Amino acid sequence: NPRPYAIDTLISAKAIAARVESLAREISEFYQGTEKLVVVGLLRGSFIFIADLVREIDLPIEVDFLEASSYGNAMESSREVRILKDLRGEIEGRDVLVVEDIIDTGFTLSHVLAILRTRRPRRLEVCALLDKPSRREVAVDARWIGFEIPDRFVVGYGIDYGQRNRNLPFIGAVRFAEHS
């Protein structure tokens, strides 16, 4: 069990909803005229974001998932990304949008993008809800970012700490009680 912690609200549910709506509008414009957009969610962290985002996208879409894991139960990236579940569908020649909850070191996304690129999608873009640029170790090119955040360990809206707190409707920052 983790030591006790409090959660400070960093981004409210209302602020997230407003940002998701405007991201979806930009995405719908960018891909206007596409035959079909394949929206790929990275499990598990992106499950709430992708659910809210696709409901605001005004395009013909297909939803697929890929499961990647690098943190396990730790607070620090293992920098070793494991693909635990691959896409169901083919993406060759398709418009593909990868949806991620957060970019931290960048290892997860750069690994996933490298794999997807070998399958020759027509266009491959990224939409991440959160970006922690101060922690980046590997460059990642994300066309859409919801919010830049400071270097705090965040939970909620899909994001976990040791598999907990994914169900919080807002983004919170973990704060440990000071011990004497």
Interface residue list for ligand PRP (CB under 6 A): 42-45, 69-71, 77, 100-108, 159-160
DSSP per-residue string spanning 55-106: TT--S-EEEEEEEEES-TT-SS--S--EEEE--SS--TTSEEEEEEEEESSS
Closest to 23 (Cα-Cα) out of 142, 172, 134, 104 = 142
User: Is 52 one of the annotated active-site residues of the chain?
Assistant: no
Which residue has 């609200």 as its token pair? 9
For residue 28, the partner it binds in Mn ion, Mg ion, ligand PRP, none, with Cβ less than 5 to 8 A by kind, is none
Q: Which is nearer to ligand PRP, 42 or 59 (CB)?
A: 42
**Residue numbers 152-171 binding Mg ion by CB under 5 A:** 160
- Beta bridge partners of residue 66, listed in sequence order: 42
Nearest-CB residue to Mg ion?
Answer: 71
Which residue has 């083919």 as its token pair? 90
The count of other CB atoms within 10 Å of the CB of residue 54 is 19
Residue 73 to residue 112: CA distance in whole angstroms? 20
Stretch that binds Mg ion, among 9-17, 63-71, 125-133, 146-154 (CB under 5 A): 63-71
Applying CB under 5 A, which of residues 20, 38, 40, 45 lies at the interface with Mn ion? Answer: 45
- Is 71 an interacting residue with respect to Mg ion (CB under 5 A)? yes
The site that binds Mg ion (CB under 5 A) totals a number of residues, namely 2
Q: How far is the CB of 78 from Mg ion (least distance, A)?
A: 11
Q: Which is nearer to Mg ion, 100 or 125 (CB)?
A: 100
